[in-house]
Structure 1
Amino acid sequence: MGMTKKNFIEDLKLNGLRVLTRVDFNVPLNKDLQITDNGRIEAALPTIRHIVEQGGKAILMSHLGRPGGERVESLSLKPAAEELSLLLGQPVTFAKDCIGEEVEALIEGMQNGEVLLLENLRFHKAETKNEPEFCKALGKLGDVYVNDAFGTAHRAHASTAGVTGFIPESA
């Protein structure tokens, strides 16, 4: 694997590109699965708006809690997609998984300036193990990779480290 060129997002021409963006939507939920503090979602808005305004396709990925590689419905990112849609003032499509043919088909159908939030990365054990096959499956979803999740940037996980080896450019 060669060194991936690092850029600032402002330096990249994003029009028409699939911008795979690691955000930190690890937000607190109450027992009714309502977000009690949306600060982390608000923190990602400038980056997401930049992608949208530049005509990129914003493909967002995050974790929520510690599901331990299992699909735990109470840790779904669906409430985050709804909150983000309200904050952005535009629809946010929610994918029921973060890799696979269904996700690829959703991305294929995206128009420039649209936003897609993938399901919780940690529903897959491979995320925290940084497994190459999972990194590759994530990497093929984007033309450009942006890490906007500085709270998780130190972790050697698939979505923060491994994926960069399978994507042409990153910021």
Structure 2
Amino acid sequence: MPRPLNKDEEERLGRLAQEWDRLYLSLRTAPVAKKIQAFRQLEKRFLKEMRTAAGKRQVQRRLTGAFLMETCAGPWRRFSPYLRRMERLGYSSMDDRLLVCGWAAQAARGSPAGLRRTAALIADFERRARIKPPHPAAREQVEFSLARAKSLIGLDTEVAE
């Protein structure tokens, strides 16, 4: 099990979130390539500040989430390298897995490889959710998000009897 972050690194992650928010707002109308470049610079700076492997990995996960969010509206080939990166780093939570399912469904349009990969992500999420079901208060939102992702990739075409 990974070692928890120390108080100093938790504070750095809080600063990262604040700086990311400011950067995101300042670049809201910028092209995706410019946003990615700016997020990479932010990541590089914060990776230098983190002292532990767990802290560095958390910075990478958070910025990879930003990369995925920014590239999901574009083609699969732009999105997929960041998906592979997130899978390599590991997901922080089931919430992150669910977000990635939705983003992948958006990015998969028009890509047979993207559709297959997204269907596999959704199936993996559902399998994990059966093992450890979401909190009852979140269940409706999880079901809605999964249904939307399935709809985007055409998995909702099955006729319910």
Common topology (TM > 0.5):
no
Q: TM-score, normalised by structure 2?
A: 0.30
Q: TM-score, normalised by structure 1?
A: 0.29
Q: Which has the larger radius of gyration?
A: 2
Which has a greater percent of helix? Answer: 2
Which has a greater percent of strand? Answer: 1
